[in-house]
Amino acid sequence: MLHTAARPRMSPPPAGPPAEGVAVRPGTRHLGPNWYACVMGTAIVATAGAALPVRVPGLRTVCVVVWALSVLALTAVTAARAVHWRRHGDQARAHLRDPAMAPFYGCLSMALLAVGASTVAVGRDVLGERVAVVLGAALFTAGTVTALAVAVVIPYLLVVVRRTPQARPAPVWLLPVVAAATGPQLLPYLPAGAARGTLLFGCAALFGIGLLGTLMMLPAIFATLVADGPPPLALTPTLFLVLGPLGQSTTAAGRFAELAPGVTSAAHARGFEAFAVLYGVPVTGFALLWLAFAGALVARARRRGMRFSMTWWAFTFPVGTCVTGAAALADRTGLAVFGALAVLLFVALVGAWTVAAVRTVQGLARGRLPAAPR
């Protein structure tokens, strides 16, 4: 990683894999929770493709295939992480104490939620509706419980565990933020009455946790960028993580508005409808601004020699949430501009996922991943 003696920099995840060509040690010792980003980034492609306001011949089939890959990836990474904890408990505990790696435990909860959402969205084509809903509900429950635990434990550790001067606020700190976008899709499958109302307002509470958590951390992250300058080259893609809570919250607001009628009172349903637009449009505008800002810094990093690492998966899931958010706005407003935005972002998402997936498979095949810290 780049290092300067003049000022502290955001430290890179110690267990993150290095750029291409760097010698590594094989095995699972250096397989951290950041590997769940592969699962998140794969599952969101299927969900985003299904959410597009346009129908492309063959796209649904492709989404089903990608969903199946996300299930396989979730199974493989979970098994590998179990081996990691069993054989390398010292390293796993070190990850929890490291302010650069600990926030990546948020990837575990988001992986469960993302696969659960894609299972309900497109997995039903293979599993059938009943099995898909049961599996999606199980993954949503496990992901939400994990997310709540991570949202409490990781900030606690960041506060109480001894830190180095390089432990500065970074975009990865947004990963433990709880997401509420996947819960509302289960509402039609619950009994009418209290069960649906509880889930709806429970997801609204999760929405508040994520929104206020983001508003609390984002100014500190930007202040760090202004004070310290651009992050190390390999960490520059993590700037895209800011898009995640923005797209997720816009998606969630749209889902609340879509499903609130019949679940809550007419007044509350109208409130959800208005909020989806009044909140979603400004946040999408800011997301596009941040996308341009982060994209410019990534282009700068590429000119200075940024090479592939696992942080490139940050180009997938956050952009995918912006696809679903734009699609939700297209549905709520009826404006073609949001539909066009969703399609353009989906094309970028597919390109980013293809590059990240191919390079990751190549790294695994050549023994370069998972990699020891440099």
| Most confidently predicted of 16-20, 28-32, 111-115, 209-213 | 111-115
Q: Are 321 and 244 in contact (CB under 8 A)?
A: yes
Give phi and psi for 46, each to the nearest 5. -65, -45
Find the Cα–Cα–Cα–Cα dihedral 273, 316, 142, 193, rounded to 10°: 10
Say what the pLDDT of residue 164 is. 57
What pLDDT score does 108 carry?
94
Give residue 53's pLDDT. Answer: 94
Higher pLDDT, 197 or 167: 197
pLDDT of residue 7: 39
Most confident of 53-57, 132-136, 183-187: 132-136
Residue 372 has pLDDT above 80, yes or no: no
pTM: 0.90
pLDDT tens-digit readout, 292-314:
999 999 999 999 999 999 999 99
Give strand pairing partners of 261.
264
Q: How much is the pLDDT for 100?
A: 80
| Model pLDDT, residue 155 | 85
C-alpha span between 275 and 21 (Å, rounded) = 49
DSSP string, 248-311: HHHHHHHHHHHH-BTTB-HHHHHHHHHHHHHHHHHHHHHHHHHHHHHHHHHHHHHHTT----GG
- For residue 11, name the pLDDT band (cuts at 50, 70, 90): very low
For residue 141, what pLDDT band results from cuts at 50, 70 and 90? very high
Question: What is the per-residue pLDDT for 5?
Answer: 38
Q: Binning pLDDT at 50, 70 and 90, where does residue 25 land?
A: very low
Average pLDDT over residues 212-217: 91
On average, the pLDDT of the chain sits at: 89
Query: What does the pLDDT look like over 248-280, one tens digit per residue?
Result: 999 999 999 999 999 999 999 999 999 999 999
- pLDDT (tens digit, 9 = 90+) per residue, 154-187? 888 878 876 655 567 889 888 877 667 889 999 9
Number of other residues whose CB lies within 10 A of the CB of residue 211: 21
Q: Is the pLDDT of residue 126 over 60?
A: yes
What lies within 8 Å, CB to CB, of 200 at 6+ separation is: 184, 187, 256, 259, 260, 263, 264
Give the model confidence (pLDDT) of 302-359 as tens digits: 999 999 999 999 999 999 999 999 999 999 999 999 999 999 999 999 999 999 999 9
Can you give the pLDDT at residue 305?
95
Question: Residue 357 has what pLDDT?
Answer: 97
DSSP characters for 181-231? Answer: SSGGGGGGGSPTTHHHHHHHHHHHHHHHHHHHHHHHHHHHHHHHHHHH-SP
Residue 9 has pLDDT above 60, yes or no: no
CA-based torsion, 105, 172, 94, 14: positive or negative: positive
As a whole number, mean pLDDT of residues 106-115 equals 95
Assess contact for 280 and 254: CB atoms under 8 A: yes
User: How confident is the model at residue 132, as a pLDDT?
Assistant: 97
Residue closest to 245 by CA, chosen among 222, 278, 211: 211
pLDDT in the model for residue 167: 64
Q: pLDDT-derived band of residue 99, with 50, 70 and 90 as boundaries?
A: confident
Alpha-carbon span 175 to 153, nearest angstrom: 13
